């Protein structure tokens, strides 16, 4: 490989990291305690050499691990702190001491449990299609409309209008999902921002915009096309072995279960607009 080619690869990798940083900084603005975002930013800041920001993410991640009683990451975090001796001051020492005490109380796995954990970690289940019935999807969208109405996010007239539009969309059998988000977009709903903010907060799925990010074609085709067209869930990024999935109804637990069963991966869900989802569908069609 020539020097020019190596420089091009390095520039491309740095650009991808900057994209990732921008995306997850945006997510943290909405969900300050999102563990996935903090973990990803920590790793990304390290790779681009922004040490102080990486150290800040490490401290935030430690606070979350301690609050959630998550022993799995305690050893990793202690090892990471040892790499930032020059940044550790008196204000940080109590946090590290708490982490050390927490790590010392971690349960010890038996040899059989350890072997089972290692074996399962190396498995990558093959993708298989899981069917979700049309009624399941419609029920999930109707439940969302009712949720919005009960929360005072839409009026009674809005409720009736959205249900009517949903019914019409389903009857058309279009190769796009029939969702509340599509109805609101098509109607240029005046309180759209408030509805989206409510959905993101209540579901725990941050709202993000993918407009400025490059979504690889091989990711959007990770789930079968028919499933993606009809179910409003599509993979848009991979972070290590975890998948980031864009959804239009983050309250749909059945759909999330189906995505995780099909991919065999840990998935993290994010709310996007219907317009951007349709853009990902277009990218999928081009990639097929």
Residue 32 has pLDDT above 80, yes or no: yes
Residue 256 has pLDDT above 90, yes or no: yes
Q: What is the pLDDT of residues 82-116, one digit of tens each?
A: 999 899 999 999 999 998 998 888 765 445 544 44
Whether residue 41 is found in the same domain as residue 84: yes
Confidence of residue 288 (pLDDT cuts 50, 70, 90): confident
Last residue of a domain, one of 86, 104, 122: 104
Whether residue 100 is found in the same domain as residue 241: no
| Per-residue model confidence (pLDDT) at position 133 | 64
Domain count of the fold of the chain: 2
Confidence of residue 125 (pLDDT cuts 50, 70, 90): very low
Domain assignment present for residue 109? The answer is: no
Whether residue 38 is found in the same domain as residue 179: no
Residue 130 has pLDDT above 60, yes or no: no
Q: Are 35 and 64 in contact (CB under 8 A)?
A: yes
Q: How far is CA 239 from the centre of its chain?
A: 10
**pTM for this model (two decimals):** 0.72
Whether residue 49 is found in the same domain as residue 138: no
* Of 269 and 10, the one with more pLDDT: 269
Residue 10 has pLDDT above 70, yes or no: no
Whether residue 17 is found in the same domain as residue 96: yes
CATH number of the CATH domain containing 191 = 3.30.300.160
What is the domain range of residue 260?
134-287
Largest CA distance in the chain: 65
| Per-residue model confidence (pLDDT) at position 124 | 43
pLDDT mean over 223-230 = 87
- Among candidates 211, 191, 229, 216, which has minimal Cα distance to 275? 211
Domain assignment present for residue 36? The answer is: yes
Confidence of residue 117 (pLDDT cuts 50, 70, 90): very low
Q: Are 223 and 263 in contact (CB under 8 A)?
A: yes
């Amino acid at each position: 490989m020539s020097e020019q080619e190596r420089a091009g690869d390095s520039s491309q990798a740095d650009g991808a990291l900057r994209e990732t940083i921008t995306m997850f900084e945006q997510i943290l603005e909405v969900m300050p305690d999102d563990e996935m975002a903090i973990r990803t930013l920590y790793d990304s800041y390290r790779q681009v050499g922004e040490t102080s920001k990486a150290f800040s993410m490490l401290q935030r991640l430690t606070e979350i691990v301690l609050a959630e009683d998550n022993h799995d990451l305690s050893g990793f975090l202690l090892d990471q702190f040892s790499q930032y001796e020059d940044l550790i001051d008196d204000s940080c020492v109590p946090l590290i001491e708490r982490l050390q005490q927490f790590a010392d109380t971690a349960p010890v796995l038996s040899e059989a449990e350890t072997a089972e954990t290692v074996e399962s970690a190396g498995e990558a289940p093959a993708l298989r299609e899981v069917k979700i019935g049309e009624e399941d999807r419609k029920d999930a969208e109707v439940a969302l409309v009712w949720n919005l109405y009960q929360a005072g996010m839409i009026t009674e007239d809005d409720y009736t209008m959205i249900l009517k539009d949903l019914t019409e969309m389903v009857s058309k059998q279009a190769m796009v999902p029939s969702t509340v988000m599509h109805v609101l977009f098509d109607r240029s709903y005046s309180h759209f921002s408030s509805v989206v903010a409510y959905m993101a907060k209540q579901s725990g799925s941050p709202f993000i915009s993918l407009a400025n990010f490059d979504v690889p074609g091989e990711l959007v085709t990770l789930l079968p096309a028919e499933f993606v067209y009809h179910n409003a869930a599509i993979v848009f990024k991979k972070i290590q072995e975890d998948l980031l999935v864009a959804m239009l109804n983050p309250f749909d637990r059945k759909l999330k279960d189906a995505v995780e069963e099909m991919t065999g991966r840990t998935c993290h869900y994010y709310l996007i607009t219907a317009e951007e989802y349709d853009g990902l569908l277009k990218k999928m069609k081009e990639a097929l």
